[in-house]
Amino acid sequence: MRQFAILALLVAAPLAAQQSAVPQAELAWKQLPDPAKEAEARELMEELRCLVCQGQSIADSDADMAGDMRALVRERVGQGESAADVRAWLIERYGDYVSYDPPVSGASVPLWIAPIVLLILGAGIAARSFRRRSR
């Protein structure tokens, strides 16, 4: 029995250390009273990337940072700001990475063009290979 208690403590200690001592913002999980504003906030949250999880939107993430961002979105939308204004503010604050649909800029042009160039290059290689086989 004592061994089981020690094992339980060894397993629980790292899990407890991962918990943040800072309480999450009030609006991280609480919905806005106005259903229309909550729907607008939820739609925006689906379009914003969690900076910690990388693959999840802030609406789907359980990370503390995502909770803080959800609270900011709800707070600003609840105060009457448009979703576009809140999105622009978050992009200004956290950078283009926060958006799943970043704007085309000088730095991102190669990322937009590279798939097209690779597709054309692959099609050319495949066409040349087929021509060689048919001879």
Q: What is the pLDDT of residue 121?
A: 96
Same domain, 88 and 116: no
Same domain, 56 and 99: yes
Q: Does residue 12 lie in a domain region?
A: no
What is the pTM assigned to this prediction? 0.65
Q: What DSSP string describes 52-64?
A: TTSSSBTTT--SH
Same domain, 94 and 133: no
| CB contact at 8 A, 77 and 41 | yes
Same domain, 56 and 117: no
Same domain, 97 and 110: no
Q: What is the dihedral of CA 114, 117, 120, 121, to 10 degrees?
A: -100
| Largest Cα–Cα separation, the chain | 79
- Tokens for 106, please give them: 């000088």
Q: Does residue 66 lie in a domain region?
A: yes
pLDDT digit string, tens, across residues 61-82: 988 889 999 999 999 999 999 9
pLDDT digit string, tens, across residues 27-40: 777 888 999 999 99
Residues β-bridged to residue 57: 49
Q: What is the CATH number of the domain that holds 92?
A: 1.10.8.640
Same domain, 33 and 70: yes
Q: What is the pLDDT of residue 100?
A: 83
Percent of the chain whose predicted confidence (pLDDT) is above 90: 48
Q: What is the pLDDT of residue 122?
A: 96
Dist CA 128 CA 33 (whole Å): 63
Q: Does residue 10 lie in a domain region?
A: no
Structural domain of residue 120, as residue ranges?
A: 104-135
Phi, psi of 100 (to 5 degrees): -75, -15
